[in-house]
Structure 1
């Protein structure tokens, strides 16, 4: 029984659901970021096919539409709940923990049932699973059973009586469906979150996911209003806007009631940095001496139209002063460099800031000069180290 689980009998797809349950289910699915992973760019909603690059190889997200052949159309509610809580598919095979069942198992029974109803009510899309490209030994799925023995111990969350209803709601969203620790925690050698270091900062898709501890007491602290707006994909004076892997998450949160973002903010801003935790910091390295004049000229030509103090876009679209964004205040240059190289793409039908990518128009020397100049404006006492090598590493990752 350790290396496999019995299949759960297939069923005919259920088609009749209560409208109120579907509405609740839509909210749960948004809170769980399901579409972020299960909808590839240009693909059909929830039909899978998005490549997920991990240190152990590349996984492709699966089809979770109610198609009976290639999706979950033959899954019963017990089969769906087993996948959410134990990481076991209907046919008994183990799911890789890139699917965050470690966190979803903390969800309530009602929320899981509502999510099931919502997914089953959607259009069925025939979209066969793509072949994963996992490295040995992680390409041997049954080995996931040993991973589960070590790390699959969480229980469904229960409210903390001493805390407010909003705080408990925020905790539930962060630690359950939102699975924030999946990105914002350091991982051990076999891809599990390091014990006792939840939310202390991590890495995902080449971006640094900052620590979510002590956010209210930093040198550049977050207020409740700032964090709520940031979580909802808005531009926030003093911190900028969500980019990279956080962008689609924030767009999902923007579709939820604002009370959910307020609850998450209340919970996160209550968290303190633990003395035993060393938050993720960049390694020490040499600081290059770069020509600030070149950086200033590049800013004037490429950035000032949106980000200079007198730029019209500062009023029209709320563009931030770059020296006050979290990316430029961060200890590492990585997120700033990734934002410049990749931009902030437009989302069809969704208002919000858009930034073009500069990967093709700025070479490495120019990008280093620009980063050095802007860091000097933001944190003159803490210049970024190893800029050139970081830029080269990011370029190689992109290839």
Structure 2
């Protein structure tokens, strides 16, 4: 009986697989790459700006690799997906892609040969892009230096390596509607909404995912997870004690905000690229997100001020807090207890949103791996303590920081989180340089 059921199940899966295969999109005819001189300089320049806003280099430029030649490994719950080569190389890149093929990939998640792209490529956001902006991105990429480089094979668990199943994902989550301005909002707000929701794909990290990997539409901007980091909410559910304003968000998105600090982890590359984007575009994004987060209230300021003036937690009742306080005094206070007098520190750690998060991951990433700023650039610098502190000491320190600087309950099982993150490579880079190809085009 069990064998018959197994055989029947395999037959059903085979039929479904064959059916989905036939539903694959049609291939588009390969073309010769248009000469770079055929693209208007204005289109190339705008494409460079859009590529910076979309943070394209983060997924398509490997560490120490050639710009846009692919090879970036993106870890997902379903396995590892590698960023592809999007230079105009005819054999390993998009050199034989027409503008039509490029637009189809951006809006439908289908490559030139008709294969479904995995939604790690955020085409579910790019589908909202205006045609002129897609053309500008095409102009920018097709004028990059061709690089012959084949991305490594994806490593996905069964059955996720079977591309036709993406058809089902699209049916659930792909909304092909273009962006429509809200007539009740300002031009700046609408421009910011367009950039944040479409090209910037902010919700890809800052919105929680469903069990099938799609963004939960009922919890838009409620916070999510990105490459082992907690991505804070971008709406009124933000737990931050330091209120966000449009000016504060603008400063943060460009480099550093005196009230909140600077970006670390995956967000660092985003802010580094936005530093080279047009001011009007970044201010529009900040205005849109600030409205989603709501205006600062008097109670917010009172809460913030109270936390900044908070007394030391009572270590006599909890020995772990006493031990964590000792670690803080020995390893952290020299810079973080100066009231912001040390360059690139904020007056109080109570102003850092990550301490108020539901998980300690961001705090542990920074404590363990430190913060690096590229050579020759101005920015934060903090050593990592993975080799200097034991997992228990790091856990005690995190518990102390949570109790000392927030009004949130203790994080559960912090030491287990320390051991999990301890073995991960450092991603705490607060200010990666703007991609060279983008900067060259902007200049």
TM-score by length of 1: 0.89
| Alpha-carbon distance between aligned partners in 2 of 1:367 and 1:66, rounded to the nearest angstrom | 47
Aligned to 1:385: 412
1:58-207 superposed matches below 5 A: 58-207=80-229
> How far has the Cα of 1:307 moved from its partner?
1.9
Q: Distance in 2 between matches of 1:359 and 1:48?
A: 30
Q: Larger deviation: 156-165 or 212-221?
A: 212-221
Unpaired segments ≥5 residues, structure 2: 1-20, 295-316, 427-443
Gap change, CA 1:129 and 1:240, over 3 Å in 2: same
2:31 paired with 1:11: yes
Aligned ranges 1:295-374 → 2 under 5 Å? 295-309=324-338, 314-318=341-345, 321-348=348-375, 350-374=377-401
Contact in 2 for aligned 1:216/1:223 (Cα 8 Å): no
Determine the C-alpha separation between the residues in 2 that align with 1:304 and 1:216: 27
Give the 3 Å change call, closer, same or farther, for CA 173–377 of structure 1 in structure 2: same
Distance in 1 between residues matched to 2:179 and 2:339, nearest whole Å: 49
- Residues 347-396 of structure 1: CA deviation (Å, up to 9, x unaligned): 35543223232222222111012112222320266333322222233236
Report how many residues are paired: 382
Equivalent-residue separation in structure 1 for 2:91 and 2:167 (angstroms): 26
Cα RMSD (Å): 2.3
Instruction: Please state how far the C-alpha of 1:234 moved relative to its aligned partner.
Output: 1.0
| Contact preservation (8 Å) 1:186, 1:197 | yes
Q: Counterpart of 2:242 in 1: which secondary structure? A: coil
Q: 1:53 Cα shift?
A: 0.6
Taking a change above 3 Å as real, the CA distance of residues 95 and 389 of structure 1, as seen in their structure-2 partners, is: same
The verdict on how the C-alpha distance between 1:331 and 1:150 changes in structure 2, with shifts beyond 3 A counting, is closer
Q: Specify the SS of the correspondent of 1:53.
A: strand
- Contact 2:93–2:149 (Cα < 8 Å) also in 1: yes
Distance 1:48 1:166, change over 3 A: same
CA distance in 2, matches of 1:72, 1:346: 33
Within 1, Cα distance between the matches of 2:224 and 2:238?
19
Greater shift after overlay, 13-22 or 105-114? Answer: 13-22
Match of 1:243 in 2: 264
| CA-CA distance at 1:318 after TM superposition | 4.6
Kindly indicate whether the alpha-carbon contact (under 8 Å) linking 1:87 and 1:96 is maintained by their aligned counterparts in 2: yes
Do 1:75 and 1:90's aligned partners in 2 also have CA atoms closer than 8 Å?
A: yes
Greater Rg by CA: 2
- How far off is 1:332 after superposition? 2.8
Q: Distance in 2 between matches of 1:263 and 1:174?
A: 9
Alignment of 1:38-53 (within 5 A): 38-53=60-75
Provide the rounded CA distance (Å) in 2 between the counterparts of 1:59 and 1:234: 31
Q: Which has the higher helix share?
A: 2
* 1:152 positional shift: 1.3
Q: Equivalents in 2 of 1:291, 1:7: separation in Å?
A: 62
Secondary structure of the corresponding residue to residue 46 of structure 1: coil
Deviates further, 239-248 or 105-114: 239-248
Question: SS at the partner of 2:262?
Answer: coil
**Structure 2 vs 1, CA of residues 112 and 348 (structure 1 numbering), >3 Å: closer, same or farther?**
farther
